[in-house]
Structure 1
Amino acid sequence: MDKGIQGTINLRRNGEETVDLSGKVHLLPCCIKYNGPCDVSDYFKPKPTGMESEGLKTQEACFRGRKLLGASVPIPDGYSGFVLGKKSLDKRKASNISEGNSNFWEINAKYKNITYWNHDSLPSQDDAFLRSFHWLAVAKTMHEPVAAEDLVSASAALEKLN
């Protein structure tokens, strides 16, 4: 059976306090084929619209001449947002590679909310991004233990239907 990708995540950065990026993490409706430094805050300047859409306080911004409408939403309770970076290994940790654990990650920053942006529509509770948070509750429910009494009563109910 394939084990998938394995690795280690270091949750502490040698006594350094983790940078909090709350209010600065954005999900844009586009693909940016660049991975490097940029003075984003010089060009991307979201501002509140003063409007609400389905309980979401909307924001407005322009990106490459296109109007975007967005909303900032908190990360659901019990979850956290992290920015991870791959950590280079020194020679002392090279022994871990021989054990098949060659991916080492560390937390570079954390965040408590994320602003997602739509291109042609106001943010709403029906947006795919917000709907994806519903799966967290489904997953939690699926993994909760089931009491034996519940199984017996469910089995009896099924037998009555047959």
Structure 2
Amino acid sequence: MLAIKKSENSAPKCAVNVLPCRIQHNGPVHASTRHWTPEVTSDGNQNSTATAYFRGRKLNGRVLDLPEGYRDTILPNTTNSTTPMALDTEEEQQEEPTPETKVLEEIATFDRITVYGHEVQPDAQEDVYIKGINEWISLAGANR
């Protein structure tokens, strides 16, 4: 089981970018504007696109704004866990053992995800990341 521990302070906002390449780093990057300056444009119909350059290669991105009322957070893997509460001896014998609960701590929040493609914008019907995000939002909306 998983439990989410809300940040004690206000969690900082961050930008989530899915790049079409493998980078041997996972986490925050303190990139200067000299190295990463995506230009976001909107057509007025809630369709935003982004253009950026990474190591001299042009990346075209599709910006996915997440729905209002959803809490979008960055939760790193941790080794923290909680131990199950002790039960009465009768209840303990009758029930299956309680699984260990891993505790994930919120480190940042976000309200949009930008998915990039090489030279072309990712297709919403074909891109696995965009399809997965849209399916997850639909599933979460059905459970509200």
> TM-score range, shorter-chain basis?
0.5 to 0.7
Give the structure-2-normalised TM-score: 0.65
What is the alpha-carbon root mean square deviation over aligned residues? 3.5
1:102 is displaced (CA, Å) by 5.8
* Structure 2 counterpart of 1:13, one-letter code: S
Contact 1:67 1:119 in 2 (8 A): yes
- Gap runs ≥5 in structure 1: 1-5, 145-162
**1:13 aligned residue:** 7
Give the structure-1-normalised TM-score: 0.59
Residues 126-145 of structure 1 aligned to structure 2 (within 5 Å): 126-128=125-127, 129-132=129-132, 133-134=134-135, 136-137=137-138, 141=142
Quick one: structure 1 residues 120 and 126, their matched pair in 2 at CA, closer, same or farther if it must change by over 3 Å? farther
Work out the CA distance in 1 between the residues paired with 2:60 and 2:108. Answer: 25
How many matched pairs? 129
Higher relative contact order (CA 8 A, sep 6+): 2
Work out the CA distance in 2 between the residues paired with 1:41 and 1:73. Answer: 24
- Gap runs ≥5 in structure 2: 85-97
Residues 1-162 of structure 1 aligned to structure 2 (within 5 Å): 6-10=1-5, 12-14=6-8, 16-21=9-14, 24-35=15-26, 38-42=29-33, 43-48=35-40, 50=41, 52=43, 56-87=47-78, 89=80, 95=83, 100-101=99-100, 103-128=102-127, 129-132=129-132, 133-134=134-135, 136-137=137-138, 141=142
Q: Percent identity?
A: 25
